[in-house]
Structure 1
Amino acid sequence: MARGTLTRWERALERWQSALVSKALHHEPVELLDALRRECDDHAVVCSESRVVVPNAYEVELDTRVHQELLRHGGGDVGQALTDVLARHGEEKGYEWAGPLTVRITPAPRPPDDPYRVGSSPMPHVRADAFPAAD
């Protein structure tokens, strides 16, 4: 597949994912993407001039109702789409992940003050597909 075609396909996928997240979260998904990038940047550890390590496991907690609505609208792939966006951010910054990168979308145990809550942690040697699918 030609690089130009892949780029158009990626843009179409991003537009679809943005529309889905926007519908479920009732606001622009750019805020969520910025929060993920900020979480990554804020927890970067400079190990040497050429090595900056960042957490690899990210979790986006949503209000339970919003999480259910997202799943009803086919949002099961949103975590992967957010992982892809974060991977591009890390590549642009030259970051090294602490292990396989993953972003999970989960219902919040208690309603967050904001529409979502973002957290991260380094989890070495954990496969991205080791997490159970959220229902």
Structure 2
Amino acid sequence: MGALTRWERALERWQSALVSKARHHEPVELLDALRRECDDHAVVCSESRVVVPNAYEVELDTAVHEELLRHGAGDVGQELTDVLARHGEQRGYEWAGPLTVRITPATRPPDDPYRVSSSPMPHVRADAFGEGGPTP
């Protein structure tokens, strides 16, 4: 029984550390993945116009996602949105619509701690991501 309790405490500390890192410190690898997703999907329309997707989704392990919800996952999504907005501004990108980053639970067992995807959604409101997904 004592070993199980120690194991449970170790797991709880690991989850707390991950949540803390996601909320209070810039998780460099995740930020790099968001920037890379943006850069990789840039479409050069003209010499002065480069359009990039505006709707980004970060899938996290279900347990980590639930912990973030308890501590305000919306704040994390907004922080990531702000970082990505600065990146786009530095590169001179034009967003396909209002920029938003949505934090969701993984739909399948993750190979990595997170997965990042994006899509251009020109008519989505920045606050439209809810439980059911984006609303045009």
TM-score range relative to shorter protein: 0.7 to 0.9
Q: What is the count of residue pairs matched by the alignment?
A: 131
Give 1:76 deviation, angstroms. 2.8
1:53 to 51, 54, 70: 51
Distance of aligned partners of 1:9 and 1:68 in 2 relative to their CA distance in 1, 3 Å threshold: closer
Give 1:134 deviation, angstroms. 14
Whether the 8 Å CA contact 1:99–1:124 is kept in 2: the answer is yes
Whether the 8 Å CA contact 1:57–1:120 is kept in 2: the answer is yes
RMSD: 10.6
2:116 to 115, 118, 126: 118
Whether the 8 Å CA contact 2:125–2:135 is kept in 1: the answer is no
Whether the 8 Å CA contact 1:57–1:122 is kept in 2: the answer is yes
| TM-score (normalised: structure 2) | 0.76
| TM-score (normalised: structure 1) | 0.77
Unaligned runs of 5+ in 2: none
Give 1:112 deviation, angstroms. 1.3
Distance of aligned partners of 1:12 and 1:79 in 2 relative to their CA distance in 1, 3 Å threshold: farther
Q: Distance in 2 between matches of 1:70 and 1:87?
A: 22
Question: CA deviation digits over 1:55-91, x for unaligned, max 9?
Answer: 0000000010110112223333100110000000000
SS in structure 1 at match of 2:127: helix
Whether the 8 Å CA contact 2:19–2:67 is kept in 1: the answer is no
Q: Percent identity?
A: 90
Whether the 8 Å CA contact 2:52–2:93 is kept in 1: the answer is yes
Whether the 8 Å CA contact 1:25–1:66 is kept in 2: the answer is no
Unaligned runs of 5+ in 1: none
Whether the 8 Å CA contact 1:99–1:126 is kept in 2: the answer is yes
Whether the 8 Å CA contact 2:62–2:105 is kept in 1: the answer is yes
Q: Distance in 1 between matches of 2:99 and 2:56?
A: 8
Whether the 8 Å CA contact 1:99–1:125 is kept in 2: the answer is yes
SS in structure 1 at match of 2:45: strand
Whether the 8 Å CA contact 2:22–2:76 is kept in 1: the answer is no
Whether the 8 Å CA contact 1:18–1:29 is kept in 2: the answer is no
Rg (Cα) greater in structure: 2
Distance of aligned partners of 1:125 and 1:113 in 2 relative to their CA distance in 1, 3 Å threshold: same
Q: Does 1:134 align with 2:135?
A: yes
